[in-house]
């Protein structure tokens, strides 16, 4: 991967990038990379936010979530023989 250094950023641009980075919970580097990808149409730009599954978020108890994780434990195990 290529590294790029940006110089002579205006204070407004620096503040905007820092603010966006905080909003996304991402590093400054990742934020700049994402913005460049969007500007160059290298990634899907999705501005539409769906809320159809919001009612399901956070509705499991800890006990239910633990039971779900236990049920999937075997499926999450990697079989080394398949990857050699």
- Give the pLDDT of residue 47: 66
Q: How many helices and strands, by DSSP H and E, does the chain display?
A: 3, 0
DSSP 8-state symbol, 17:
H
- Give the pLDDT of residue 83: 80
Helices 28-39 and 11-24 pack at an angle, to 10 degrees, of 100
This prediction has a pTM of 0.50
Average confidence (pLDDT) per 10 residues, the chain, 84 residues: 90 96 92 91 71 81 91 87 78
DSSP 8-state symbol, 56:
G
Structure token pair of residue 5: 């250094």
Q: Where are the domains of the chain?
A: 9-44
Residues 66, 25, 34, 41, Cα dihedral to 10°: 70
């Amino acid at each position: 991967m290529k590294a790029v250094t940006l110089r002579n950023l205006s204070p407004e641009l620096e503040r905007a990038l820092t603010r966006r980075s905080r909003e996304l919970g991402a590093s400054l580097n990742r934020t700049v990379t994402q913005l460049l990808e969007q500007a160059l149409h290298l990634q899907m730009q999705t501005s539409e936010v769906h809320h159809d599954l919001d009612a399901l978020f956070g509705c499991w108890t800890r006990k239910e979530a633990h039971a779900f994780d236990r049920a999937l434990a075997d499926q999450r195990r990697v079989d080394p023989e398949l990857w050699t």
